[in-house]
Amino acid sequence: MAFIIILAPKIMDRRLQNSNEALTKENEQFVSQVEDVLSGFNFLYALFALPMVTQHVKKASLDLKKRMSTSLELKQLYKSSDLPATSCHKFF
């Protein structure tokens, strides 16, 4: 019994760490895409092309959601966390 009590947290810690790393990589990619779009904000503003900003951010958000829903590790982490079931693409 004591063996299970000691071993279970170690197994779960490893799985949680792997899931957190995968989630972090996905979020880094999303933030990078959004930063790329926002870095051109002044240029797009001057050309009256601001709808492109929301279009690209929405696409990056949907891509992130799609990758998260197809990744088993991320899906398990998302379900087990206290994160809301919303995605930022719903705000656009």
pLDDT at 31: 93
CA distance 66 to 87: 11
11-27 pLDDT, tens per residue?
A: 788 888 888 888 899 99
Q: How far is CA 68 from CA 17, 31, 45, 47, 60, in A?
A: 16, 15, 32, 34, 12
Centroid of chain to Cα 43: 27
Residue pair 75/68 in contact (Cβ under 8 Å)? The answer is yes
Which regions in the chain score pLDDT beneath 50?
A: 83-92
pLDDT at 85: 46
Mark residue 55 as left, alpha or beta (left: phi above 0; alpha: psi -120 to 50; beta: remaining). Answer: alpha
